[in-house]
Structure 1
Amino acid sequence: MSDKIKILFVDDHQLIIEGILSYLKDIDGLDITSTNSCDEAYSLVKSHMNTDPYHILFTDLSFDNADRNMTIDCGENLIKVLKKDSIPIKIGVITGHSETNRVYNVIHNLQPLAYILKGQCNTTELNFAIQKMMNDQVYYTHEIHEKIMKRALIEIQMDEIAIQILKELPKHSKISNMEGIITKSDGTLIKIRAIESKLAKLRTDLNANNNTDLVLKAKELGILD
């Protein structure tokens, strides 16, 4: 059995694979395999489990080459299947997706050990991420780390009334129309002055210029769909 760190890299764009491999080749002690298919990646992981298992799998999230003949059509589903099968492999994401809601859902629901952005990674970052992953530690690209921290901070500041207001805001041309709709947990109606006060605080918390900008910021942070 090899004493090298075995890595399987999955991406449907060959140029991306070649770019990432050019960074990885400068890191000593790696044994790297790549594939364009999530189905093939799953098959490779399974077939090597009992002989010479992969230590790390890096996958993109979206796969443009997915078709009806593929059982696993994206990186998220590949991660789900591997976790469902309780396969002992450390999973990282290397992707171009940096939308806060997508990032949050992937990290919260799938819990990859690494989340790295394609356009920003290099040999040093990949080496650091691999070492962290081999020690079962989490590594996120700086931009991703900031997004997760900001999202967590906003969630702490949010309450049921704030969420109600943000969801209702796009439906009404006037703030006064929201009176009689927003309620406390005990069913008590919130007065217009309290709604306006809450909106002002939300604009400050989310650094929004106006209510339209507030809705956009809430969507960017994944608070609203």
Structure 2
Amino acid sequence: MFKKVLVVEDLDSIGYGISIMLKQELGVQEVVLSQYCGDAYLKYIKSVHDQTPYDLLITDLSFNEDHRIEKIANGKQFINKIRGLGYRTPIIVFSVEEKPTAVKKMVQTHDISGYVVKSRNGLRYLREAVESIYEGDKYLSPQVSNINTKKELFEIEDYDVMLLSHLSNGLTQEEIARIFNQSDISPCSLSSIEKRINRLKDELKAKNTIQLVANAKDLGLI
């Protein structure tokens, strides 16, 4: 079984529950809790430098803001920092987020070993995830286990993500067309961008651009 696990969770009760489960039910020797992603990142880097690295990371995605200004504000940024440095430590996401599109994107683009939805049986599924990953497998809790077989609403492309991101920043279609043209991003004509936005409105069931951006954020597309 894993010997050293870092748990990144801002709620005391949940973090404590995870720690007890890991120690008492799975026999993990050392569990370190961190309520802030920035602190967790420093702990992780120190463990690597001290040649006593963590065997497993368990992190939430959303963290409540308080008086501290955090450079690493959420679990996704924390994972990006770890993966950006080339570290391949197994990571389990333990989150309330269960939208298929958002979960699939997280698993595919962040090299996640397991994804467990916080729920009534969340700790049981988390235990199953730890056991499966220790054996070399990947794990998805039942709520999201069908993300690789379920037909998605549509296949989002990088072009769509860039377009939605620019819209979320308040840019007009004319401004986006100029940026795409200057960056050699195709298609970049105003008519093509307008057609693409209308397609996204239909797919995401949005009546206007504001609702389109809001729906895209809800789905975790941007």
Give the TM interval when normalised to the shorter protein.
0.5 to 0.7
What is the aligned residue count?
172
| Counterpart secondary structure, 2:97 | coil
User: Secondary structure, in 3 states, of the residue corresponding to 1:149?
Assistant: coil
Verify: 1:77 aligned to 2:81, yes or no: no
- Following TM superposition, by how much is the alpha carbon of 1:68 offset from its aligned partner in structure 2, in angstroms? 6.6
The more displaced of 120-129 and 103-112 is 120-129
Do the aligned partners of 1:59 and 1:94 also contact (CA within 8 Å) in 2?
A: yes
- Is residue 3 of structure 2 the alignment partner of residue 5 of structure 1? yes
Residue 38 (str. 1) matches residue 37 (str. 2): yes
Paired residue for 2:27? 29
Contact preservation (8 Å) 1:11, 1:59: yes
1:197 alignment partner in structure 2: none
Q: Does residue 132 of structure 2 align to residue 132 of structure 1?
A: yes
Give me the CA root mean square deviation: 3.6
Report the CA distance between 1:21 and its aligned residue: 2.5
Q: Is this contact kept in 2: 1:26–1:123, CA < 8 A?
A: no
The answer as to whether partners of 2:79 and 2:110 remain within 8 angstroms in 1 is yes
* Gap runs ≥5 in structure 2: 158-201, 207-214
Following TM superposition, by how much is the alpha carbon of 1:28 offset from its aligned partner in structure 2, in angstroms?
3.4
Amino acid at match of 1:117: V
The separation in 1 between residues aligned to 2:53 and 2:44, in whole angstroms, is: 7
Deviation at 1:128, TM superposition (A): 2.4
Match in the other structure for 2:142: 142
Change in CA separation of 1:144 and 1:48 when aligned onto 2, cut-off 3 Å:
same
Deviation at 1:136, TM superposition (A): 3.5
Distance 1:20 1:66 in 2: 23
Q: Measure the CA separation in 2 of the matches of 1:121 and 1:82.
A: 28
Question: How far apart, CA to CA, are the structure 2 residues paired with 1:93 and 1:87?
Answer: 16
For the structure 1 residues 213 and 14, does the alpha-carbon distance in structure 2 shift closer, same or farther, using more than 3 Å as the test?
same
Contact 2:38 2:71 in 1 (8 A): yes
**What residue in structure 2 maps to residue 20 of structure 1?**
18
TM-score, structure 1 as length reference:
0.63
d(CA) in 2 for partners of 1:110, 1:61? 12
Q: Is the 8 A contact 1:116 1:140 kept in 2?
A: yes
Report the AA paired with residue 140 of structure 2: Y
- The correspondence of residues 73-222 of structure 1 with structure 2, limited to 5 A, is 73-122=73-122, 124-150=124-150, 153-154=151-152, 215=205
Per the alignment, do residues 72 and 27 of structure 1 end up closer, same or farther by CA in structure 2, a change over 3 Å counting?
same
Q: Shift of the alpha carbon at 1:213?
A: 11
Shift of 1:10: 0.5
Unaligned stretches of 5+ residues in structure 1: 161-211
**3-state SS of the aligned residue for 1:52?**
coil
Identity of aligned pairs, percent?
22
How many Å separate the matches in 2 of 1:80 and 1:223?
16
Q: Tell me, what secondary structure is at the counterpart of 1:15? A: helix
Tell me how far apart the structure 2 counterparts of residues 142 and 44 of structure 1 sit (CA, whole Å): 31
Q: Which amino acid aligns with 1:46?
A: I
Counterpart for residue 46 of structure 2: 47
SS in 1 for 2:146: helix
Name the CA distance, whole Å, in 1 between partners of 2:101 and 2:142.
17
Q: 1:42 and 1:224 mapped to 2: Cα distance? A: 25
- What TM-score do you get using the length of structure 2 for normalisation? 0.64
Question: What is the deviation of 1:55?
Answer: 0.5
Runs (4 or more) in structure 1 with deviation over 6 Å come to none
